[in-house]
Each structure stands twice: as structure tokens, then as C-alpha cells.
Amino acid sequence: MSQRTFVGGIHPGYFKDYTAGKPIAPIRAPSQVIIPLHQNIGAPCEAVVQEGDEVKVGQKIGEPLGFVSAPIHASVSGKVTKIGVFDHPLGNPVEAVFIENDGEDTLYEGIGPRKPLEELTPQEIIQIAKEAGLVGLGGATFPTHVKMSPPDDIAIDTVIINAAECEPFLTADHALMLERADDVLYGLKAFMRALSATKGIIGIEDNKPDAIAAMQKTVAENSQNYDIEVHSLETKYPQGAEKMLIKATTGREVPPGALPMAVNVVNQNNGTAVALAEAIKLGKPLYERVVTVTGPGIQNPANLIVRNGTLVSEVIEQCGGLTPDARKLILGGPLMGLAQPSQEVPVIKGTSGILVLTEEYVKHYAIGPCIKCGKCVDVCPMHLLPNFIGSAAEKKDMALAEKYGALDCFECGCCTYTCPAKRPLVQWIRIAKNEILASRKK
Amino acid sequence: MEKKLVVSSSPHFKSPEDIQGIMIDVLIALIPAALMAVFLFGYRALITMVVAMVAAMATEAIILRKSDFFGDGSAAVTGLLLAMTLPPAPPWWVVAIGSVVAIAIGKQIYGGLGSNIFNPALVGRAILVVSWGSYLAGDVWLKPVPFGFTADLVTKASPLVADKTSLLDLFIGTVPGCLGETSALALLIGAAWLFYKGHIDWRIPGGFIGIVFIFGLCSGGLYDGVFHILAGGAMLGALFMATDMVTSPVTPVGKLIFGIGCGLITMLIRLFGSLPEGVTFGILLMNGLTPLIDNFTLPQKFGEVKKSNA
């Protein structure tokens, strides 16, 4: 059988040695958490607590303002000191709940084990995911219960657990598979049950052979009555991109502009699977997550369980602080992560990694002319022409950019990575996408 | 942290490869052919190559008013490629004019690297063929003398117009001809480097050489098929000229069409035209069609047409 993969992509190096194999450790809860009330794609939440209220761990503090949204829970017990605007990792400051930690870690009363998985109906599972505030933990933060509720005329036959972890540096998913393989499998079964899917697939890049072995062992031992396969995938970025993963594992191609459900598939990150397992087994809402704190700019890189709303500066301090030559702070991986102007931003549900790069990696390049080498065309996983879209956007010819497929770009950045002329192709494409969509709204 | 954090839009990693690196790879790929030229034609070949490269780089430096003589390396590549298409020892000023024309008219007039429509080296050569054809053809072909670095050379007819030549001689390169055109072996070794580095793929050379072979085969049998690949500039054109990134298509299908077109025009000129060689004009004509080819061969987007196979 040929190797499971997709056409295109790049090999930017692994850089996983900083944290690969390191156990997941909890960090000391901070004296204060600042929890933004918008942590998912879709609608924000509104506060259901007030200044001065005492809250407990796992207590709901934000109620969704729409269907495509997820509630937000307190990550420490203590007193709400302020509800006000604070900086957000995605850029625009949003309303946030400030909680002073009383150090007691008192658990909210409503939290406790649910019924066994076999006794839960699909609707109950979806409700648990919704109440627990689950969102896609790979970084996209799409509300999980929405993905679990496809329209009636679409039958989902396959659930894919995305454990590719194709971004360099990040090892949170890897660590979860080594330590929590049973919960990954449990979460997958819950998704399959909720969606009445007959097949489950766990896709892992082949640079994590120990994780593949761990998952295969668990699946062999514990998946009676379920058709579940562990797939070893070529290690290539962006193998973990939704459409690429579906192509690699099932051979199906999601049409341009469509969602995975168009080919009867639902993707879930393996961190999300573990979170769903916890929500069912323990009744635990999503108020903490595994974060890879890594990079040459971190003194002691580690895989950590971080409470929602912990400031990045606090996490970095608990990892021994920054090296003197640290220059760039990125939330997420080096290819799709967001650079931050300050360490004073909170860790949120979508924070998969805190990556600090040093001088050596932070280079400025002069933009050269396109020499039409076509290397961006070769690596584009969507089979677009990034060089032409980029040049069209550079000249502000958005109609031409659209003709070349700007809107089908999901911004993996392979083109910019590859371009020998150091042209900011994906950056231009982002501008084109924004302008095209903005002009449509008019 | 005394300095502030750097903020930029992702991706935060970039491949170390740059334009200069690619150009240096092309120069490296031309080393076997250049060594072969010196081995066969002696110091005269060396002078021709050096004059062409220096004139090309100087022209670019003057036009761009830059002090960095080598720059991105593209002028050096153009100069060396031009030299490869010239006989061993034309007058030095002919070589220099060729380089000046290649850079000034073939490239900079369009806006510099990346903006030119036609392969600059071939523009230079085309102007020389038209203006000083007597220095480039006919009685100036020299009989190669292996190891004869300073040997006197005697003239001999080009294989394209001569009687039957041994295919092995053509492959090794011990035949009269232009500097870089005689040895298919040296060109293949160099091209292997470009394949290895991912700077060229099989489509353009494959289409080009495939069509040349088929035409040769149909016109006179197996010998002619192989002969037309090895003789003249077909190899140099297919591996190093037609594959010029700037002036060839970027789409996979476009590359194949481009290569086939180059081979087709080359053979039409060779077999039915008044010129003995058609590689230069074959590639230049296809260069002109490149934007059109790209636009007619836009790749199918991921997920288009092909839907669920469930």
C-alpha cells in the first residue's frame, strides 16, 4: 500500500526534541486568571457572574450568545474582581472575567461522572459536549457540539481523530497519546456514537512511532464492537489540515468551499477527544488544556496543563523564563501561529503552544521579484497558483486574485515558506481574501 | 528582554533557499559542460566564457547602478549560458555584444529579473545570429582537440550539416560545435544536479526531447532519432534554456505543452527550414506563448470535480 498522504506540502523540519517525550505536568495555578469571554469561532459569550461573586472551579461564567458558540467556565475558585476589556491572543481586546484565585481549588457542585458511554444517547453526548464548552483544541476552536450536529440529510460514516500534529515544535497531542491513549479512544467512541458513524480513524504522522504504537495497542485491546483504525501518515506539513487529513486517511476530497461533512466525515482533534472523555467520565468542563511551551527562547521547555486565563508571562516564568536572545512570541506553531506583541495575554482554549523563537530564527528578508520558479505551485496543497494570486493582490487586482482561487486558500503558508524570492505570498492572499469577502458583503 | 518582541504575520519559518542559491546551483550545473568545453577547445573556450559572464554582469551592474557585481547571480548565469551557445572562439567583442544585448534588451528593458518574456541568453544569441552570423556558423567550427589547451585548432563542419557522425562521439562531445552543445554527457551530469535540487522537473526536457526523438525517428529511423537529440543545441536547450524559470510555464500541464512546443518548432526548422538549427527560435517562440499556456492550463483545485468516492 502506498503511503497515506496528500499532494504538495513542505518539510520544514521537526524541532520536536525540545519537548518530545516529556511528561505532561500541571503548572502552579496563578494568583489571578483573566478569562476572555470569546474563545471560539462564532458568537462570543456574555458574563453570567458579576463583580464580587465567588466562583468555583468549573462553574459556568460565560453563556453563549448564539448556536455556534460554547460556554466558558471558571478555571480557579475565588472572587470575580473585575469584568472588563483585556488583550486577546487573536488581536482585538475583548470582554474578560478577572478571577482572584483563593488557592482552594473548590470544585463546582454540579461536576461529577455522567452515565457510562453505552447508556448515553447521541443527543445526551452532544449536550455534554456543549455544556462542557468543548471547542476544537487544534487551534481552530470551532464549537464541538456544532460539528456533532450535522443537518438531517447528511449521514456521517467516519470520524477522524486528527493527531497528525504537523506543526514543527508542538508536542501536546503527542504527549496526550502517550499518556492518555485510553481517553483518546474513549473520546473517539463517543464521537462515533453521537454521530452514528460506523468507522473511526486516528491519523498520526509517522515521526511519532511511539504514539502510533500506543494508540494501536489501546485500539487492539479496547475497541470491541467498533471499527477503528490507526493510520500512520507521511510526516509532511500540513498533514493535519482538515482536508489533507481526510484525503490521506479516506481518499476523499472535500470540494472547494465545502465542509468535511460534504464527504460524510467529521474531524476532531485528539485533545478534543480527551476533553470529551473527561466531560463524560468526570463531568469536567473545558477549563484547562495541554500547552506545549517550547522553542529556543524558553529556558525549560515543557508540556504543561495550563488553566484557562493564565497569562502567557506566568507560564513562561514557570518554565524558567526567556533566554536573553528571545525575540518572537508565537501562540501556536511556527507556520500558522500568531505572533504576539506582549506576554500579557491569556492562554485560551485554542492555545496549543507557546513558542518563543530567538534572534537566529527571526529574520527579515528583502522581497525579491517573482522568478516564476513554480515552487509555490508545487507545494500548494489546494493546487492553487499562489504566485499569480500573490502578484494580483500585490497589484490590488482582487478580481484576478479571485479567478486564480484566492478564496480556496486556507493559509497554511507553504507558499511563503518555499518562495526563494521571499515574497509574502500567503500574506498577500490574506489581504485578497479579506477584500473579496468585504466587497461581497456590500 | 531589552528589545521588543517582533510581530509578523505567519508563517514564521522560511526555507533557507533564495534566488542567489538557485542561480549558484545553475552555475554549478554548468561546470561539467564548461570543463568539457575547455578540455576540447582549450583556452579560447575559457576566454569566451569569461568575456560573456563579465560583460553580462557589468551590463547589469551599470543598468541597476549597483556595486554588488555578482548580485543575485542571474547575470552570470545568462552570460555563461550565452557562451555555451557560441562557437569556441568568435571575436571577443562579438561575445561581449551578445552579453550586453542579452542583459539590456533581453532582460532589463522589461523590468529586470522575473519580468522578461524571452530567455535573455537566447535573445543575445538570436541578435548575434542575425547580425554577425558569419562568426557563428559556417567555417568557424573548430575540430576539438582533447587536452590541447593551447593547441592550434582547425575548422570543420558542424555535425548538423556534415556527413554521418558517430553517436558515441556526439554523446561524449568530441565533435565540432558550440561550447556547451557538444557533450550530452556533461549536460546530463549538470542537469542531474538541478533535478536533485528540485529546480527543474521532467516535463519540459521530457516533452522537448521526446518530440525531437519522435520527429527524428519518423524522418530517418532510429539513428536520426538519437542523432537529433545529441547533435546541435537540443540537449542544452531542453535541459538549460527551455527550463529557465522566468520564461517557462509554472503549471504542470503547461510545462509539458511548453516542452513539446519547443521540440516541435525546433524540428520543423531543422527539417524544413533554411537554418540548420532551430533550438533558439523554438524556445523563443514558446517563451512568447508562456503566459497564454499558463492561463489555459490552470490546475484543478483540490476537491474540484472529483467528489466523494464513498
Using the predicted structure, report yes or no on whether residue A301 has a pLDDT greater than 90: yes
Scanning A132-269, the segments in alpha helix (DSSP H) are 144-147, 172-195, 209-222, 242-250
Pairs of CB atoms within 8 A across A/B: 170
Q: State mean pLDDT over A221-245.
A: 94
Contact A341 B5 (CB under 8 A): yes
- Is B107 an interface residue toward A (CB < 8 Å)? no
The model's pLDDT over A97-136, given as tens digits with 9 standing for 90+, comes to 999 999 999 999 989 899 999 999 999 999 999 999 999 9
User: Cα-flanking dihedrals φ and ψ of residue A375, to 5°?
Assistant: -65, -35
Q: In this structure, what DSSP letter does residue A277 have? A: H
Query: To the nearest whole number, what is the mean pLDDT of chain B?
Result: 89
Q: State mean pLDDT over A249-278.
A: 95
Using the predicted structure, report yes or no on whether residue B2 has a pLDDT greater than 80: no
The pLDDT of residue A255? 93
The model's pLDDT over B155-209, given as tens digits with 9 standing for 90+, comes to 666 666 666 778 888 888 888 888 888 899 999 999 999 999 999 999 999 999 9
Using alpha carbons, list the distances in angstroms from residue B49 to A240, B76, B80, B99, B232: 50, 10, 6, 10, 18
B 1-30 residues inside an 8 A Cβ radius of A: 1, 3-15, 17-19, 21-22
Size of chain B, expressed as the number of residues it contains: 310
The model's pLDDT over A367-418, given as tens digits with 9 standing for 90+, comes to 999 999 999 999 999 999 999 999 999 999 999 999 999 999 999 999 999 9
Q: What is the CATH number of domain A117-281?
A: 3.40.50.11540
Contact B14 A328 (CB under 8 A): no
Using the predicted structure, report yes or no on whether residue B140 has a pLDDT greater than 70: no
| Residue A62, min C-alpha distance to chain B (Å) | 30
User: Cα-flanking dihedrals φ and ψ of residue B217, to 5°?
Assistant: -60, -45
Q: State mean pLDDT over B22-27.
A: 97
Helix, strand, coil percent content, chain B, rounded in steps of 5: 60, 0, 40
The model's pLDDT over A38-69, given as tens digits with 9 standing for 90+, comes to 999 999 999 999 999 999 999 999 999 999 99
Contact B250 A330 (CB under 8 A): no
Q: State mean pLDDT over B68-88.
A: 93
The pLDDT of residue B184? 92
Q: State mean pLDDT over A424-439.
A: 94
* Residue of chain A whose Cα is closest to the Cα of B305: A255
CA B124, B129, B133, B136 dihedral sign is: positive
* Residue of chain B whose Cα is closest to the Cα of A360: B13
The model's pLDDT over A152-167, given as tens digits with 9 standing for 90+, comes to 999 999 999 999 999 9
The pLDDT of residue B68? 86
- Closest listed residue to residue B89, CA positions, set B30, B26, B173, B151: B151
The pLDDT of residue B289? 97
Tell me the C-alpha distance between B310 and B302, whole Å.
Answer: 17
Using alpha carbons only, what angle is made at residue A428 by residues A399 and B296, rounded to the nearest 5 degrees?
45
- Closest listed residue to residue B265, CA positions, set B223, B212, B226: B212
The pLDDT of residue B155? 63
The pLDDT of residue A227? 95
Using the predicted structure, report yes or no on whether residue A2 has a pLDDT greater than 60: no
Contact A368 B198 (CB under 8 A): no
Scan for cell 593547441, then name that residue: B151
Of A252, A426, A427, the CB nearest to B310: A252
Residue B153 pLDDT class (50, 70, 90 cuts) = low
Which has the higher per-residue pLDDT, B153 or A206? A206
Residues near B94 by beta carbon (within 8 Å), at least 6 away in sequence: B128, B132, B135, B136
Tell me the C-alpha distance between B3 and A78, whole Å.
Answer: 36
Using the predicted structure, report yes or no on whether residue B293 has a pLDDT greater than 60: yes
| Residue A284, min C-alpha distance to chain B (Å) | 34
Contact A327 B6 (CB under 8 A): yes
Find the radius of gyration of the CA atoms of chain A: 21
Torsion of CA B143, B149, B150, B154, to 10 degrees: 0
Size of chain A, expressed as the number of residues it contains: 442
Residue B309 pLDDT class (50, 70, 90 cuts) = very low
- Closest listed residue to residue B23, CA positions, set B70, B66, B92, B60: B70
Question: What are the residue ranges spanned by the domains of chain A?
Answer: 117-281, 375-441
- Closest listed residue to residue A201, CA positions, set A169, A178, A179, A233: A233
Residue B308 pLDDT class (50, 70, 90 cuts) = very low
Question: Which three three-digit cell numbers place residue B54?
Answer: 563579465
Q: Is B260 within 8 Å of B207 (Cβ atoms)?
A: yes
What 3-state class would DSSP assign to B47? helix
* Residue of chain B whose Cα is closest to the Cα of A382: B302
Q: Is B234 within 8 Å of B208 (Cβ atoms)?
A: yes
Using the predicted structure, report yes or no on whether residue B214 has a pLDDT greater than 60: yes
Contact B15 A421 (CB under 8 A): no
Residue B306 pLDDT class (50, 70, 90 cuts) = low
Contact B308 A252 (CB under 8 A): yes
Using alpha carbons only, what angle is made at residue B17 by residues B16 and B21, rounded to the nearest 5 degrees?
130
Using the predicted structure, report yes or no on whether residue B139 has a pLDDT greater than 60: no
Contact A385 B301 (CB under 8 A): no
Tell me the C-alpha distance between A109 and A354, whole Å.
Answer: 32
Q: Is B181 within 8 Å of B85 (Cβ atoms)?
A: yes
* Residue of chain A whose Cα is closest to the Cα of B199: A373
Q: State mean pLDDT over A430-435.
A: 95
Tell me the C-alpha distance between B120 and B56, whole Å.
Answer: 10
Query: To the nearest whole number, what is the mean pLDDT of chain A?
Result: 94
The pLDDT of residue B152? 66
Question: Which three three-digit cell numbers place residue A96?
Answer: 474578560
Residue A1 pLDDT class (50, 70, 90 cuts) = very low
Of B9, B115, B248, the CB nearest to A427: B9
Using alpha carbons, list the distances in angstroms from residue A205 to A5, A233, A245, B189: 9, 4, 10, 36
User: Cα-flanking dihedrals φ and ψ of residue A174, to 5°?
Assistant: -60, -50
Using the predicted structure, report yes or no on whether residue A440 has a pLDDT greater than 90: no
Residue A8 identity (one-letter amino acid): G
Residue B151 pLDDT class (50, 70, 90 cuts) = low
Instruction: Look at domain B19-296 and name its CATH class.
Output: mainly alpha
Using alpha carbons only, what angle is made at residue A369 by residues A364 and A374, rounded to the nearest 5 degrees?
105
Residue B103 pLDDT class (50, 70, 90 cuts) = very high
DSSP labels, B262-309: HHHHHHHHHHHSSSS--HHHHHHHHHHHHHHHHHH-PPPPTTSS----
Q: State mean pLDDT over A26-47.
A: 95
As to burial, measured by CB atoms within 10 angstroms (0-12 exposed, 13-18 middle, 19+ buried), residue A152 is exposed
The pLDDT of residue B286? 97
Residues on chain B touching A416 (C-beta within 8 angstroms): 11, 14
Using alpha carbons only, what angle is made at residue A412 by residues A409 and A418, rounded to the nearest 5 degrees?
105
Q: Is A103 within 8 Å of A124 (Cβ atoms)?
A: no
Q: Is B261 within 8 Å of B143 (Cβ atoms)?
A: no
Question: What are the residue ranges spanned by the domains of chain B?
Answer: 19-296
| Residue A387, min C-alpha distance to chain B (Å) | 9
The model's pLDDT over A135-147, given as tens digits with 9 standing for 90+, comes to 999 888 999 999 9
Residues near A323 by beta carbon (within 8 Å), at least 6 away in sequence: A296, A297, A298, A299, A356, A358
Q: Percentage of chain A surpassing pLDDT 90?
A: 93
Interface with chain B: mutation pick from A312, A372, A402, highest number of B CBs within 10 Å: A372
